[in-house]
Amino acid sequence: MIVPVDQERFAQACRWAEEHATPGVGGLGEKTTHRALKYYFLPRETCHEQKIGGFVADGLGEDGVLEIQSKNLYTLLPKLEAFLPEYPVTVVYPVVVQAQILWLDPDTGEQAGTGKRSRRCGVNGVLPQLYGLRKLLCHPNLRIAAVTLTQRQLRLLDGRGKDKKIHATKLDNLPLSAGEILWLDTPEDYAQLLPDSLPEEFTAQDLAKSMGLPQKDGTSLAGVYGALGLLQGRPEGRRRVWRRAVVPPNSVINKQKKA
């Protein structure tokens, strides 16, 4: 299900994030975008940074655990394996569709250049990133929320290379706007994103292209859908071809949505 971001609520979350830039117990190194999303999805501050067992969750409220993760989703596996048996968990993944890059002089802090990056994938950009969590995607307590954002990235010109931009220090990510949220609760939600135009058999690269994603993400994308039981693959020479799976009515894919 895709819903628009509540713009008034998002603006309030951004203001809160700017006013609470001091790192807390669990917020060391948090970027502004991370704080804004945490407030947007869980405005009650007393619910932030909650210790659960041997982990600190971004939040724990009436709807369960909240985790914000902008990359390397596989690093959440230990937390999720600990949380999911006991709590509903929402994992929020920001899909940055456009970034304004502001380069700063590391000595003076003054602006030293600008740049821009854009992605055309929209909320579908979360799908290949879920490969690292594929074995948990059918868990009834797991919910994914992908949010499209534009942001300003502050970076120091202290990296390697002639332009000093390789592995440069990333100071902060400042949210500028938010568009829509893709909620992925059940396998049916993932199935609805598969294009009707797919042929009977197709490659992973065909799948990625049909969904507006880079072809390099095809293998991960097909792996996610395979783990969900929505696609079946078979080897054909040196490649693998895929087709839609035939899903029995009593399959885990037909599990009921959580309240």
Looking up residue 242, the CATH number of its domain turns out to be 1.10.10.10
How many domains does the chain divide into? 2
pLDDT for the residue 27: 39
Q: Walk along the chain (259 residues) and give the pLDDT tens digit of each residue.
A: 899 999 999 999 999 998 887 554 333 467 999 999 999 999 999 999 999 999 999 999 999 999 999 989 999 999 999 999 999 999 999 999 998 888 888 888 888 888 888 777 788 999 999 999 999 999 999 999 999 999 998 888 888 888 888 888 888 889 999 999 999 999 999 999 999 999 999 999 999 999 999 999 999 999 999 999 999 999 998 889 999 998 654 455 544 444 3
Gap between the Cα atoms of 121 and 7, Å rounded? 21
Q: Would you call 133 helix, strand, or coil by DSSP?
A: helix
**259: in domain:** no
Backbone angles phi, psi at 15, to 5 degrees: -65, -45
pLDDT for the residue 23: 53
- What distance separates the 2 farthest-apart alpha carbons in the chain? 64
Among 185, 211, 245, the domain boundary falls at 185
**202: in domain:** yes
Domain residues for the domain of 100 are: 2-185
From the number of C-beta atoms within 10 Å of its C-beta (0-12, 13-18, 19+), residue 200 rates as exposed
Residue 16 shares a structural domain with residue 104: yes
Residue 43 shares a structural domain with residue 139: yes
Residue 196 shares a structural domain with residue 121: no
Among 167, 185, 203, the domain boundary falls at 185
| 25, 49, 156 from 80: Cα distances, Å | 20, 15, 34
Residue 58 shares a structural domain with residue 166: yes
Gap between the Cα atoms of 133 and 77, Å rounded? 7
pLDDT for the residue 25: 39
Residue 180 shares a structural domain with residue 194: no
